[in-house]
């Protein structure tokens, strides 16, 4: 069975035993990782500057910026940007809605999550298709 859905920047295709996702998740992950590393470095440098100047602003902004982006790096570690996923690797698939955005979360067997942004009109169709695919699995 082959079924495909249009996304914001690509396509989601269910093809037999595979899920093919064509979006720019790999690029976005690299940009997020590089950006977060730079901000963690900036936060560490602010804390080190605090040691010389004793300026409380440098300490607190450095801690907030550095620790928040360190949390983002940890989140990136637990996410996936695979373009092709075998259905045997999938534990659950769920359409979620937050703040007016709809996306598909695919939980993989290696405890990583692949998030796919959806267009508002296709979420119901994707939910119905997922119910049939997961019932066959």
**DSSP string spanning the chain?**
-EEEEE-SSSEEEEETTEEEEESSHHHHHHHHHHHHHHHHHHHHHHHHHHHHH--HHHHHHHHHHHHHHHHHHHHHHTB---SEEEGGGEEEEEEEEETTEEEEEEEETTS-EEEEE--GGGHHHHHHHHHHHHHH-
For residue 86, pLDDT over 80 is answered with: yes
Whether 45 and 11 share a structural domain: no
Whether 100 and 71 share a structural domain: no
For residue 106, pLDDT over 80 is answered with: yes
Confidence of residue 58 (pLDDT cuts 50, 70, 90): very high
Query: Any idea what the CATH number is for the domain that residue 17 is in?
Result: 2.30.29
Please indicate whether residue 65 or residue 23 has the higher confidence score (pLDDT): 65
Domain count across the chain = 2
Confidence of residue 47 (pLDDT cuts 50, 70, 90): very high
For residue 121, pLDDT over 80 is answered with: no
Whether 103 and 132 share a structural domain: yes
Q: Domain range holding 126? A: 2-22+85-136
For residue 133, pLDDT over 80 is answered with: no
């Amino acid at each position: 069975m082959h079924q495909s859905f249009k996304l914001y920047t690509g396509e989601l295709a269910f093809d037999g035993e595979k899920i093919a996702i064509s979006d720019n998740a790999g690029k976005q992950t690299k940009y997020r990782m590089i950006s977060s590393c730079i901000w963690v470095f900036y936060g560490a440098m602010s804390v080190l500057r605090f040691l010389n100047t004793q300026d409380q602003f440098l300490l607190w902004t450095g801690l907030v910026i550095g620790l928040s982006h360190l949390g983002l790096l940890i989140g990136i570690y637990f996410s996936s940007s695979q373009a092709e996923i075998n259905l045997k690797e999938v534990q659950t698939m769920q359409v979620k809605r937050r703040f007016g955005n709809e996306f598909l979360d695919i939980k993989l067997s290696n405890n990583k999550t692949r998030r796919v942004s959806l267009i508002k009109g296709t979420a119901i169709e994707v939910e119905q298709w997922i119910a049939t695919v997961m019932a066959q699995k």
